[in-house]
Amino acid sequence: MTVTLEADGGVGTIRLDRPPMNALDIATQDRLRELAAEATHRDDVRAVVLYGGEKVFAAGADIKEMREMDHAAMVARSRGLQDAFTAVARIPKPVVAAVTGYALGGGCELALCADYRIAAEDAKLGQPEILLGLIPGAGGTQRLARLVGPSKAKDLIFTGRQVKAPEALALGLVDEVVPAAEVHERARAWAARLAAGPAIALRAAKECVDAGLETDIDTGLAIERSWFAGLFATEDRETGMRSFVEEGPGRAKFR
């Protein structure tokens, strides 16, 4: 399998394993979509780590495969490409990308689908599709602009340049930079902390932020209001408030 999902302690790890560079061919894209759906529905997965291994996250699409595709073939395929990445972005649980080595093209777009990105000190990220006479096609023009702002996104997309981890951190493209040997463990610790949290409230928070970014503020506030009131019907809300009153803040143990 080019992509696997393993769960341990509430943390599911979606692992890319297509040596040497984890090129994202069609089979890998489709497998990503399948495992994103599986992670969504599995009760033993409460948070997710995206990981490509110690050497590389994902260096982009399979260019040899893409070169054989004409316009008609890509018209037929482009929705499936986007759907695979959107499935990852819409996992209703906290998702962190553990970025080692290169995250370029589709690899960068996959990292953009996470809620949080932790990069190795020697990692390089970018959207080099323009150098092939193309543009990002798996969500990069949309998710990158929403994350770092339109002018910074245009600079990266127009030039196709790679950015090293410190610049990626300054741009807001990644959220933490750590030594390469610590990337996976740091990402897993981030996920494990949230895996112990209130699952429905975390789902609500993610949906409110993501859906709110796609609409006007009044609609976003309505989404927030609906979820906020709805959480008062959950066991987690009762657990959290009872623990706060009886034991003080931050000691609730959610099921």
The residues that bridge with 98 in the sheet, in sequence order, are: 51, 118
**Taking a C-beta distance cutoff of 8 angstroms, is the pair 88, 113 a contact?**
yes
Q: What share of the chain is helix, strand, coil (3-state, %, to 5)?
A: 55, 15, 30
Residues 6+ apart with CB under 8 A from 156: 126, 127, 144, 148, 163
Rounded Cα–Cα distance for residues 229 and 224 (Å): 9
**Taking a C-beta distance cutoff of 8 angstroms, is the pair 145, 158 a contact?**
no
Which residue of the set 6, 109, 214, 246 is catalytic?
A: 109
CB atoms within 10 A of CB 78: 13
Which residue of the set 68, 121, 129, 185 is catalytic?
A: 129
Q: Is position 167 annotated as part of the catalytic site?
A: no
In this structure, what DSSP letter does residue 24 have?
A: B
- In which element (H, E) is residue 95 found? strand 95-99
Rounded Cα–Cα distance for residues 99 and 112 (Å): 11
Q: Is position 129 annotated as part of the catalytic site?
A: yes
Catalytic residue list:
109, 129
